Structure 1
Amino acid sequence: MIKILVLYYSQHGNTRQLARHIGRGIEQIDSCEAVLRTVAEIATTAATTSSASTNQTTDPIVSHHDLKQCAAIAMGSPVRFGNMAAPLKHFLDTTSSEWLSGTLIGKPACVFTSSSSLHGGQETTLQSMMLPLLHHGMLLVGIPYSEPLLHTTCHGGTPYGASHVNHGINKQLHPDEIALAQAIGRRLATIASKLSG
């Protein structure tokens, strides 16, 4: 089986939902398995230790072994002032040994995000997650405009990666967002499969 790491941080559950749908897209490709992992909270402020945080999940905390075992990575975070959330950045800052050994060089990767407003910084957040992946030598995968929904969606979804717009009303993903998340999962798995073959 080709293991594809779906690594995310989710405070209120929206990014977690995207991770699940990307995983479903990955597993639509023969011999590919989605391995869902989250990152640990960093309790440095009252905000991260408050009851507002709902990062409680059945998904295990990521390990450095997961990075070595995977053939590709889908990485996601909610928008935090146009950037990835601190817990995900904190984990990435611990990957110097993988960088030195070239563990991730040549592996494909994609990114995904969620925000509470349409212009809340989704594209800059997606780009902020791309930067460390480029430093690791990974091959970035986006959503091509051959996906018809990318032309018509009024919800989440960008050529940079899958996304969700919550609007502060409903935590459920729109069908367009689900379809685009599964599409990028399939694309990532297809590329990982070809590179592994």
Structure 2
Amino acid sequence: MKTLVLYYSTYGHIETLATAIAEGVKQVEGAEVVIKRVPELMPKEVAKQAGAKLDQDAPIATVDELPEYDAIIIGTPTRYGRMASQMANFLDQTGGLWFQNALVGKVGSVFTSTASQHGGQETTLVSTIVNLMHLGMTIVGTPYTEKRLTNIDEVMGGTPYGSSTIAGGDGSRQPSDDEIEIAKSQGRHVAQVAMAIKKGTA
């Protein structure tokens, strides 16, 4: 069972969650995971001036490779309550796969990052899920068996629609230990569901 963690990360927060999600996938016996990212649309000089993290290890994904995976977990920061244009641009190129029903029945899941607690985490996650449903994917979230979702002792991310983090207005806040663990839980749960579907036991 092969999983793709596909992400776009401007400042590294989504990249960190992607790594945690991949760790969760690896905890499931027989599950393989690949981390890739979508292309940056900003010119390099503009990205540098914006303080973007350009030295990310993950290779660039192609649309044509998506059918190779049993599960695809998509990570994108929030832009005005929706996915970043870099991820939208990539998903907009999947029309051929949609026409061929190439992703129907694959497992899909999402994760995000926002500057503030109420900066659009849930709207970004749910609106990204809509794209995956149009492609015929089976949506898997982060169930409340992950007890950290009910933690109210601190301001933090984490939703039943997918894992998340809060970056702060200046991007200085990094994913907390609880947010990392929720991301691992999501990766593990997605892999378990995808494995069950592949084996025909779901």
Indicate whether the TM-score tops 0.5. Answer: yes
> 3-state SS of the aligned residue for 1:93?
helix
Equivalent residue letter for 1:137:
G
The DSSP-based 3-state class of the residue aligned with 2:79 is: coil
Q: Which residue of 2 aligns with 1:143?
A: 142
Q: 2:186 aligns with which of 184, 187, 197?
A: 184
2-structure distance, mates of 1:45, 1:129: 26
> 8 Å contact 2:82–2:123 — kept in the other structure?
yes
How much does 1:65 deviate? 3.6
**Structure 2, unaligned stretches of length 5 or more?**
none
Count of aligned residue pairs for this structure pair: 196
**Change in CA separation of 1:139 and 1:61 when aligned onto 2, cut-off 3 Å:** same
Q: Deviations over 1:22-51 (max 9, x none)?
A: 000000001111110101111379855634
In the alignment, what sits opposite 2:29? 30
Q: Distance in 2 between matches of 1:27 and 1:176?
A: 19
Per the normalisation by structure 1, the TM-score is 0.93
Which has the higher mean CA deviation after the structures are superposed, 63-72 or 101-110? 63-72
Tell me the secondary structure at the aligned position of residue 182 of structure 1. Answer: helix
1-structure distance, mates of 2:150, 2:80: 26
Query: What is the aligned-residue RMSD (CA, Å)?
Result: 1.8
Distance change (3 Å), C-alpha of 1:169 and 1:95: closer
Percent identity (aligned): 39
Answer with 11-20 or 141-150: which moved more.
Answer: 141-150
- How far residue 109 of structure 1 moved from its aligned partner, in angstroms, is 1.1
Corresponding residue number in structure 2 for 1:164: 165
Structure 1 residue 66, shift from structure 2 partner: 2.6
Cα deviation code 1:46-103 (max 9, x no counterpart)? 8556342214311111113430210001001011010100011001011111101111
Q: Secondary structure at the match of 1:114?
A: strand
Return the alpha-carbon distance in structure 1 between the equivalents of residues 132 and 105 of structure 2. Answer: 10
Give the Cα separation in 2 of the matches to 1:132 and 1:94.
12
TM-score normalised to structure 2 length: 0.91
What is the SS of the residue equivalent to 1:43?
A: coil
Query: What is the match of residue 85 of structure 2?
Result: 86
Structure 1 residues not aligned, in runs of 5+? none
Secondary structure of the residue aligned to 2:19 is helix
8 Å CA contact 2:14, 2:77 repeated in 1: yes
Shift of 1:129: 1.0
